[in-house]
Amino acid sequence: MASYDVVVVGAGSVGTPAALALAEAGLRVLVVEARPSVGQGSNKAAIGGVRATHSDPAKIRLGRRSIEIVSTWKEARGEEIEWRSGGYVFVAYTPREEKLLKDLLVVQHRYGLEIEWLDARGLLEVVPDLNPEGLLGGTYSPGDGHLSPLLLVHAYYREATKAGAEFRFRERVTGIEVRGGRVRAVVTDRGRYEAPVVVNAAGAWAREIGRLVGEEHPVVPDSHEAGVTEPVAHFLDPMIVDIRPVPGSSNYYFHQLASGQLTFCISPSPPIVGEDCRETSAFLPMVARRMVELMPRLVNVRVRRTWRGLYPMTPDGSPLVGWSSEVAGYAVAIGMCGQGVMLGPAVGELLGRLITDSLLPGDREVLELLSPSRSFAAQEALK
């Protein structure tokens, strides 16, 4: 019978970095994944934005650390993940967004984030192709950026494997054995693996895993639709985010990848709750109209592919990270609310420290804010 120090459930944006951190801390790690390879859940659907400019201190801290990791990844690990530090731009065309964004700046500056308000002229210098008509300005955070989620998760996978972590694919977790209030083993459709610690990193499917230990995690997926274009010569640095609500969608965002392709994503409104990831006819007309009106230059760029992916949402828009208060040895890193790629690198490290009992001074605040047993009173202002 195989036994490990930790079994991680899910080889995605969070589970794979966690496996690396745990393996590099010297633990025997097994990652169990129902899909045939890493990143086949929501990671492959992500468009790759990474930012520190959130409004919640826990996410700000994690986002910052993630940027440190991914921006130095190539030097440190030698692998290309197509990180580009192009910044984020949130545009404002109505006083509503202007006020919302400026209010947030106060919080963001309090945490020392590099983000500023630019008036229309200033913003057009950063993004000359924005439609100037009615543009009031926007925020610009040059330290944020984007990368390839696919390359990132595979880079983590290679490093984790090198560090000794084992991965078992096409293997579905069917049970988690708990005795005496403590996890003992993970049972799958193909085997049983003993471990004193089990990490739930099952993303949009975290709820089902939680039920195996009798916990009901408040994580409900909704779906967003995304696309990618042909590659064109570089013309756009930052991720552009437009948070104007219009019938059908609450916001959308896009950026130009290192490969020259543009990738874009829209948040349906009201949200489409559920796991359905089949393509819909509504998406392209909706997102295309918004993008072309915002940036007329995009009228000629050819769309290559579209897909739908899941945002595992929590009631307050922030992840659940930490030990279970009910079952000893059961930890969760779930409910990333569509930000698994940008938070995953930092969350992976945090899990490593949590499980090896080597938390850093700042970690406690983060873990308190993201506690799986917190009450969900607050709402994330900028999801």
Partner 1 sequence: MRLERHPILPVERGEPFPFTFAGRELLAYPGETIAAALFAHGIRVFGHHPKDGAPQGIFCANGQCAQCLVLADGLPVKACMTAVRPGMAVLPADGLPELPRVPTPPPLREIGRVEVPVLIIGGGPAGLSAAIELGMRGIQTLLVDDKARLGGKLVLQTHRFFGSTEAVYAGTRGIDIAARLAAEVRALTSVEVWLDTVALAVYSDGWVGVLREGRSYVLVRPEVLLVATGAREKSLLFRGNTLPGVYGAGAFQTLVNRDLVRAAERLFIVGGGNVGLIAGYHALQAGIAVVGLAEVLPECGGYKVHRDKLARLGVPIFTSHTILSANGRDGVESVTIARVDGRFQPIPGTEKTFPCDTVLVAVGLDPVDEFYRKAKEFGMRAFAAGDAQEIAEASAAIFSGKIAGRRIAHALGFPGVVVPPEWETTLEVLKSRPGARREPGGELPTQGVVPVLHCHEEIPCNPCASVCPQGLLRVDPADIRKTPEFRLENGKACLGCERCVVVCPGLAITLVDYRKDPEHPTVTVPHELGAEATPVGAKVALVSAAGEILGEAEVREVRATPRNDRTVLVKLIVPKEIAPNVAGIRLTARWGEEPLPEAVESLADDEIVCRCERVTAGEIRALIRAGFRDMNAIKAVTRSGMGACGGKTCGPLLKRLFREEGVSPDEVTDYVGRPLFMEVPLGIFAGAELPDG
Q: Which stretch binds partner 1 (CB under 8 A): 15-23, 102-110, 299-307, 371-379?
A: 299-307
Distance, CA of 269 to CA of 249 (rounded, Å): 4
Alpha carbons 60 and 83: distance in angstroms, whole number: 19
CB 91 within 8 Å of CB 242: yes
Asked if residue 229 binds partner 1 (CB under 8 A), the reply is yes
Angstrom distances, CA of residue 26 to CA of 4, 18, 29, 31 = 11, 13, 9, 15
By CB under 8 A, which span of 95-103, 214-222, 302-310, 347-355 interacts with partner 1?
A: 302-310
CB-count burial class (<10 Å; 0-12, 13-18, 19+) for 313 = buried
Question: Which lies closer to partner 1 via its Cβ, residue 281 or residue 375?
Answer: 281
Site mask, partner 1, residues 246-285, x = CB under 8 A?
Answer: -------------xx---------------x-xxxxx-xx
Q: Is 25 in the site for partner 1 (CB under 8 A)?
A: no
Nearest-angstrom CA–CA distance, 219 and 216: 9
304 binds partner 1 (CB under 8 A): yes
Of 129, 177, 208, 363, which one interacts with partner 1 (CB under 8 A)? Answer: 129
Residue nearer to partner 1 on the CB measure, 143 or 164: 164
| Of residues 101 and 295, the one with the C-beta less far from partner 1 | 295
The reply on whether position 371 binds partner 1 by CB under 8 A is no
Residue 377 tokens, joined:
């009173």
Residue with the two structure tokens 């930052």 = 238
Helix (H, G, I), strand (E, B) or coil at 50: strand
> Applying CB under 8 A, does 297 fall inside the site for partner 1?
yes
- The verdict on whether omega for the bond into residue 95 sits within 30 degrees of 0, i.e. cis, is no
Chain contacts with partner 1 (rule: CB under 8 A):
35-40, 44, 129, 131, 133, 150-151, 153-154, 169, 229-235, 259-260, 276, 278-282, 284-285, 287-289, 291-293, 296-307
